[in-house]
Chain A
């Protein structure tokens, strides 16, 4: 037989609503992996990875450990003082938290919608670094939000790697719960900060409507 490139299986079927995500074959893990950006989330019922890079943002990795369905989100809270308009400022933290709630609820609801059970959820959180030295510690706020949210929801944190000064790449396999966190060198700090800032800017121009569905 001719020696060709190692054959790859076709990517597993994406769940409805996640077909547009770019997935690429990962040699190390011998699996497909979907890349998510700030503000996005991805849920799968197959043995495939989902990965992202984090500066001060947070990713929650959540799965149903019985059904092996799960996914990852990627979010941060906008700073209350940077938000436009007085009404916004008056709304304070509450308004800011809505973005975190939104990201967490979308991920959890999607898992439940696909048959997951709340009591089987396993949660891991990553990120919230302080990658730019001369900025306020927005990562800390994001970590505190995630912990408080999960506490309120009665969800325990099974593992976490948060804070510190390094950006991270997180690769998560919802089918097994396996996660690989790699610290990235400072060469990537500015690029990651810019991706996150672009997301913050988009939050300003597209405030949330009544889009959060509550199950």
Chain B
């Protein structure tokens, strides 16, 4: 029986939760009386996150000149918004560990997500007027609905994957999911973002990364996420031929203010950095 996105997300309510440190930082950011010292204190209460935060702050991802050896320094250098992003992205894989499935390995799933995150961040830097770190987060979360769909509707999801393999004419996975499950991973992911009260930017990027025309508030960010998803697939299968991957919506280039020329350098750079970033974000704390 077909289920709505809302029902699916409610079904997994007890199995995936946002990390406490992310919630604490979010509350502080909404509180006008809070200071960066409060953020520092909230971070320090999570020793595992503190270790990972300092590792990533000192990584080539952020080209800071001096060594970042305290949480206070990290908060000053990266800013509170970025500390909140990292509180979400650095633990998202463990947040979803309670939702296993037999269709895709978690390692492969998160590798694609990280490739997309890196691509979105680079594309955002090039496009300007977009926050590269917000785009990194959007890229990392864009397929999050897949883990819910695969866990809650395994039979229909498997049928969808078989349908894609069965079609020599390249049916997309989200079209196949609509056929077999009556819903697709983007819709489910968007609903999760809504129920989790993630920033609206993330909600739109996740919900509309396959259907960018529907993004009303963050069309540029959504278009970048859409392009980054395809670029991530090119990096994964090591190709620069657009015919090897699903098509990029031509409107995306115009909305993002970029062109096809951006593809090649981004593919090469994410291929060069993925292993290090994978160990930062997915490695053991």
Interface, chain A (partner B; CB < 8 A): 24, 26-28, 33, 35, 49, 51, 53, 133, 166, 169, 171, 182-192, 195
Contact = CB atoms under 8 A, between A and B. Distances in A.
Interface stretch (B8-16, B53-61, B73-81, B235-243): B235-243
Q: Please report whether the interface of chain B is mostly helix, strand, loop or mixed according to DSSP.
A: helix
B165 A169 contact: yes
Nearest to B173: A187
B102 interface: yes
Q: Please report whether the interface of chain A is mostly helix, strand, loop or mixed according to DSSP.
A: mixed
B162 interface: yes
B168 A24 contact: yes
A166 B237 contact: yes
Contacts of A53: 165
B161 interface: yes
Given A166-B237, A190-B102, A191-B158, A185 B168 contact: no
Contacts of A28: 168-170
Contacts of A191: 103, 158, 161-162, 165
B169 to A, nearest CB: 5
Interface in B92-110: 102-105, 107-109
B161 A188 contact: yes
Contact of A51 (B108, B168, B233, B236): B168
Contacts of B102: 190
Contacts, number: 60
Given A169-B165, A188-B165, A191-B103, 6 more contacts: A24-B167, A24-B169, A53-B165, A183-B238, A187-B173, A190-B104
Nearest to A34: B168
Contacts of B170: 28
B168 A186 contact: no
Nearest to A192: B165
A52 to B, nearest CB: 9
Interface size bucket, B side?
20 to 34
B108 A189 contact: yes
Contacts of A24: 167-169
Nearest to B103: A190
A185 B103 contact: no
Given A166-B237, A182-B244, A187 B169 contact: no
Interface in B212-245: 233, 236-239, 244
Nearest to B108: A186
11 contacts: A28-B169, A133-B107, A169-B168, A182-B244, A183-B237, A183-B238, A187-B173, A188-B165, A190-B105, A191-B103, A195-B165
Nearest to B233: A185
A145 B27 CA distance: 62
Nearest to A53: B165
A171 B162 CA distance: 17
Contacts of B167: 24
Contacts of B111: 186
Nearest to A182: B244
Contacts of A35: 166, 168
B209 interface: no
B164 interface: yes
Interface string B157-185: 01001101111111001000000000000
A26 B166 CA distance: 12
Contacts of B168: 24, 26, 28, 33, 35, 49, 51, 169, 171
